[in-house]
Chains A and B, each alone.
Chain A
């Protein structure tokens, strides 16, 4: 079976724990800062992408000069955004010089295109952030606190709390009601006659009214 379909620009193969960088970054302080921490592979002809974190996720690097020069960077973002299954992360140099252009850039990138945007102040900051992005990709998803599945909670204490929100029901009557009508749905369908033996006439009417009255 053929593994690699004939393609135009990608997918680019990125070995585990590596980053594939556009040839133009060879020898730059940006990639020098990464070396020693992750392996950088240079490849020509990657434009518009600057770095590939994996075959499906890439970095577009917008320099201070790009930002100050005008909106020409936008074309690059749109090309990546429209390319089916490639997820683009935009890293932008937000410096004293380019700061004023940042808000408009952020609106375009995050709110219009729905891409990720991360500002950096220098090449130094950029290289450690990119190293962090590579490390994030290589670690197991369960190590990410925001992807961790939380264990299901026991519903009983919540159910008691929910039943206590019904007018007339406090700590004592809530468990009594749930012992006779074991789910909220069953409790909501109970008639006044069925409720009376458990909570008395007045409260039975209150419960029934709570469930049935229109709001």
Chain B
């Protein structure tokens, strides 16, 4: 973990004792962008930044392409990847991973950039593609179609504005202090907790101890998560550790599993 999460003196939260920071009126809309998107979606990021009044934070999001609100993640996929059944299982794994953390998911299917002199190559619609689409629809996952990176940026903007109107916009700073950084890493290690939830936990609880002693209702309110997710976090905090349950014996626990 580095980048925007990293220790920074720009914003000192020491001394902020209030359990929740009051959302400021008219605060800029914030979108979190995964650092991997710099390589594949640089134009998306530039267009988002160019859109007036948008705060775009590029940080490591562990495979979540865009986080547009406290509950919504957006997965950006090229159409050719969706059409080719070779990538199907990988795509399914990715969506299931996102489902474990987010209440709402949106997939933006983006048309591939046409290479010069390659206009003859028409992508044929496949059964596997239709099958993916209908499975996504049945599971309540939103799908949007984009013809280029500029349009993707516009759709992301619209999505985050809709979420903002529903009062679930990202309202915490994405920069944390040194001690905040330690707490953030701690919160990120809770299973199925997204980066934005970890940030909310970090900024809205005055201390880690306060968080670990909170009721599910308090966790739900401060972390901006559903009661179910709050219950899951609560149960994790109170889970009684049993050495016998370790799969590989006590001394072989994996350092860190990256999803």
- For the complex, what is the distance from the CA of A150 to the CA of B139, rounded to whole Å? 14
Q: Is A11 an interface residue (CB 8 A)?
A: no
Given contacts A133-B134, A175-B250, contact A146 B145 (CB under 8 A): no
B16 A215 Cβ-Cβ under 8 A? yes
A116 B130 Cβ-Cβ under 8 A? no
- For the complex, what is the distance from the CA of A112 to the CA of B212, rounded to whole Å? 39
Q: Is B245 an interface residue (CB 8 A)?
A: yes
- For the complex, what is the distance from the CA of A162 to the CA of B256, rounded to whole Å? 10
B138 A144 Cβ-Cβ under 8 A? yes
- Residues facing A in B110-157 (CB within 8 A) are 125, 127, 130-131, 133-139, 141-145, 147, 151, 154
Q: Which of B137, B154, B209 contacts A211 (CB 8 A)?
A: B209
B162 A183 Cβ-Cβ under 8 A? no
A145 B253 Cβ-Cβ under 8 A? no
Q: Is A4 an interface residue (CB 8 A)?
A: no
- For the complex, what is the distance from the CA of A166 to the CA of B34, rounded to whole Å? 25
Q: Taking the nearest CB of chain B, how far is it from the CB of A37, in angstroms?
A: 12
Q: Is A83 an interface residue (CB 8 A)?
A: no
Stretch at the interface among A25-33, A62-70, A73-81, A152-160: A152-160
Stretch at the interface among B41-49, B184-192, B221-229: B184-192
- Residues facing A in B148-178 (CB within 8 A) are 151, 154, 158-159, 162, 176-177
- For the complex, what is the distance from the CA of A103 to the CA of B155, rounded to whole Å? 9
Stretch at the interface among A16-24, A39-47, A121-129: A121-129
Q: Is A213 an interface residue (CB 8 A)?
A: yes
- For the complex, what is the distance from the CA of A197 to the CA of B207, rounded to whole Å? 24
- For the complex, what is the distance from the CA of A211 to the CA of B179, rounded to whole Å? 10
- Residues facing B in A137-165 (CB within 8 A) are 137, 141, 144-148, 150, 153-162, 164-165
Given contacts A144-B139, A188-B213, contact A214 B182 (CB under 8 A): no
Q: Taking the nearest CB of chain B, how far is it from the CB of A206, in angstroms?
A: 10
Given contacts A178-B241, A185-B237, contact A118 B133 (CB under 8 A): yes
Q: Taking the nearest CB of chain B, how far is it from the CB of A142, in angstroms?
A: 12
Residues of A within 8 A of B255 (CB): 161, 171
Q: Taking the nearest CB of chain A, how far is it from the CB of B106, in angstroms?
A: 9
Residues of B within 8 A of A119 (CB): 145
B186 A136 Cβ-Cβ under 8 A? no
Q: Taking the nearest CB of chain B, how far is it from the CB of A86, in angstroms?
A: 15
Q: Which of B16, B158, B205 contacts A111 (CB 8 A)?
A: B158
- For the complex, what is the distance from the CA of A159 to the CA of B127, rounded to whole Å? 43
Q: Taking the nearest CB of chain A, how far is it from the CB of B30, in angstroms?
A: 19
Residues of B within 8 A of A103 (CB): 147, 151, 154
- In this complex, how many residues of chain A approach chain B with their Cβ under 8 Å: the count is 60
Q: Taking the nearest CB of chain A, how far is it from the CB of B146, in angstroms?
A: 8
- For the complex, what is the distance from the CA of A146 to the CA of B95, rounded to whole Å? 7
B127 A128 Cβ-Cβ under 8 A? yes
Per-position binary interface string of chain B over residues 185-201, scored 1 when its CB falls under 8 Å from any chain A CB and 0 otherwise: 11011110000000000
Q: Taking the nearest CB of chain B, how far is it from the CB of A27, in angstroms?
A: 24
Residues in B lying within 8 Å of A, measured CB to CB: 13-17, 92, 95-96, 99-100, 125, 127, 130-131, 133-139, 141-145, 147, 151, 154, 158-159, 162, 176-177, 179-180, 182-183, 185-186, 188-191, 202-203, 205-209, 212-213, 236-243, 245-247, 250-251, 253-257
A165 B182 Cβ-Cβ under 8 A? yes
Q: Is A97 an interface residue (CB 8 A)?
A: no
- For the complex, what is the distance from the CA of A89 to the CA of B137, rounded to whole Å? 9
- For the complex, what is the distance from the CA of A164 to the CA of B191, rounded to whole Å? 14
Residues of B within 8 A of A189 (CB): 209, 212-213
Q: Is A200 an interface residue (CB 8 A)?
A: no
12 more A-B residue pairs beyond the given contacts A146-B136, A154-B245, A185-B237, with a C-beta to C-beta distance below 8 A = A103-B151, A106-B145, A111-B159, A117-B145, A119-B145, A125-B125, A155-B239, A161-B256, A165-B188, A175-B253, A210-B179, A215-B206
Which among B125, B159, B257 has the greatest number of chain A C-beta atoms within 10 A?
Answer: B125
Q: Which of B179, B209, B213, B241 contacts A156 (CB 8 A)?
A: B241
Q: Which of B17, B130, B188, B246 contacts A128 (CB 8 A)?
A: B130
Q: Taking the nearest CB of chain B, how far is it from the CB of A173, in angstroms?
A: 12
- For the complex, what is the distance from the CA of A121 to the CA of B183, rounded to whole Å? 51
Q: Is A201 an interface residue (CB 8 A)?
A: no
Q: Which of B14, B131, B144, B186 contacts A165 (CB 8 A)?
A: B186
